[in-house]
Structures are given as C-alpha cells and as structure tokens.
C-alpha cells in the first residue's frame, strides 16, 4: 500500500458529506485522517462540495492513492526547515 502523504492525489469514498466518490489532493495529514482539497466530483455533489468550500477531512481508510505525494523523508525535512 502506498503511503498517504501530503500532495498525494487520492480517490475518496462517499461519506456523510459527499454522496458519491470524489478525487482530491491531500493538503495536510493527521494521525488517522487527512485534509483533502476536493477537485473532481460527481455533478450531483456540486452543492455539497461548495458548502464544504471544496475541502474535507477524510479517514485514511476511506481513500485510495492514485498518485503518490512527497516522500515521508521530504515531509520531515520541510517540517524541520519550517521550525
């Protein structure tokens, strides 16, 4: 399984906010979830995506990596540089 990291493109399964699966980019990772910027969604979910301001916190178990993001090593280096 590919690690879920920042800037990864993921397919998220339908959840309480969105009625259909959607595709987005991870902006921030948490322990068991991630903040996803919603980029592609079913037309029926247009109002839901808009209400969420095109972002949602999704459980990592409810997503599938389509394109890997930055490596964990790069992520650590960026976090250290920011400190």
Asked whether residue 55 is assigned to any structural domain, the reply reads yes
DSSP string, 16-71: SS-SS-EEEEEEEE-SSEEEEEEEEE-GGGHHHHHHTTTEEEEEGGGEEEEE--S-
Q: How many domains does the chain have?
A: 1
Residue 1 scores a pLDDT above 70: no
Residue 3 lies in a domain: no
CATH number at residue 46: 2.30.30
28 belongs to a structural domain:
yes
Segment 10-25, tens digit of pLDDT: 999 998 889 999 999 9
Within a domain: 4: no
Q: What is the pLDDT of residues 23-69, one digit of tens each?
A: 999 999 999 999 999 999 999 999 999 999 999 999 999 999 999 98
> Is 2 among the domain residues?
no
- Is 45 domain-assigned? yes
């Amino acid at each position: 399984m590919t690690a879920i990291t920042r800037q990864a493109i993921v397919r998220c399964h339908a959840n309480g906010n969105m009625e259909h699966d959607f595709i987005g980019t991870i902006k921030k990772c948490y322990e068991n979830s991630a903040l996803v910027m919603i980029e592609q969604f079913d037309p029926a979910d247009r109002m839901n995506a808009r209400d969420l301001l095109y972002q949602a916190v999704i459980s990592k178990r409810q997503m599938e990596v389509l394109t890997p993001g930055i490596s964990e090593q790069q992520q650590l280096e960026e976090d250290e540089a920011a400190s």
